[in-house]
Copies of this chain bind each other. A is one copy, B any other.
């Protein structure tokens, strides 16, 4: 059931506000580029969209044993998006932990959410099943995520199917809150469910993932990338055999970041086969990796080593985001009648 939406929002006329989150993790790889960075960079160039890209460092704290990790990888994550061309012109990149309105609004959402909702959350149930005792942070994760969304009046949140529950929760919490205060105050977001585009790893079998150790880094030293690409598993077809690109991990990986020309060229040469073996294909993959990412490696490292410059670059985003968050917070507080004025 669709409810009334608030009449006064912070939206920008003619643009749809899209919120995307990214957790800071070590060693970003081609799979991350394909699944998250590239779509965000492209969306940032779309004049119909107003992107808020949130580095969700608070979400990374929910495992007590790894509580110091997110802080170590935040700069790398931000530097990657900036180096790969995310446009700040009409969009924002923000650091979740710099927006205190989020946990405040999370508290309000927690006060309208029944405990059973959280007990049914996938991530929590998975943690229980794995025999670990989850932290309260993991348990409350869906609330913080809903707060991320509503704090910015987000209209669209792109999610994979496995994340859809979080958006349903956010919608539920919006309805519960608006009902509790008797009028539409929080904006109800829409999920944009995206087919999860899985990229094959260098083992040719599983999804590219750091935890499987089958990934190709984005910004490592050239020789390290070369080494990884040489390890991409292929079949035993010979130099002159026609080869099927669809079952060739080298081509699959190339497709995830290469130019149309590079992709078409390799496809053609593999199909024909003559004089084009997997060694050639790997060489071409390496060249394209160098062309796409190698050229940005310097910029990435520059940002990484100039946190002040990066902070300055992101300052307008932060200030715009804080303004939105403060406006929504005030709407919520007015509805609750908090304060003495």
Which residues from chain A sit less than 8 Å from chain B, CB to CB?
57-58, 61-62, 64-65, 67-68, 70-72, 74-75, 78, 95, 97-98, 100-101, 103-104, 106-118, 133-140, 143-144, 176, 180-181, 307-308, 310-311, 314, 333, 336-341
Contacts and interface: CB of A to CB of B under 8 A. Distances in A.
B107 A58 contact: yes
Given A61-B336, A95-B339, A115 B135 contact: yes
A101 B100 contact: yes
Given A112-B135, A181-B68, A311-B340, A104 B103 contact: yes
B100 A341 contact: no
B97 A67 contact: no
Contacts of A133: 114-116
Given A113-B136, A115-B139, 16 more contacts: A64-B176, A67-B336, A72-B337, A75-B340, A98-B339, A100-B103, A107-B137, A111-B135, A112-B137, A114-B134, A115-B136, A115-B138, A118-B136, A311-B340, A311-B341, A314-B340
How many copies of the polypeptide does the oligomer hold? 2
Contacts of A341: 307-308, 311
Chain A interface, DSSP helix/strand/loop, else mixed: helix
Given A106-B103, A136-B143, A111 B340 contact: no
Closest 9 CB pairs of A and B: A71-B337, A111-B137, A103-B103, A100-B100, A110-B136, A61-B111, A110-B137, A113-B136, A97-B338
Contact of A114 (B106, B113, B135, B339): B135
A67 B176 CA distance: 12
Contacts of A75: 340
A68 B137 CA distance: 27
A180 B58 CA distance: 15
Contact of A336 (B62, B71, B108, B180): B71
B64 A180 contact: yes
Nearest to A337: B71
Nearest to A135: B111
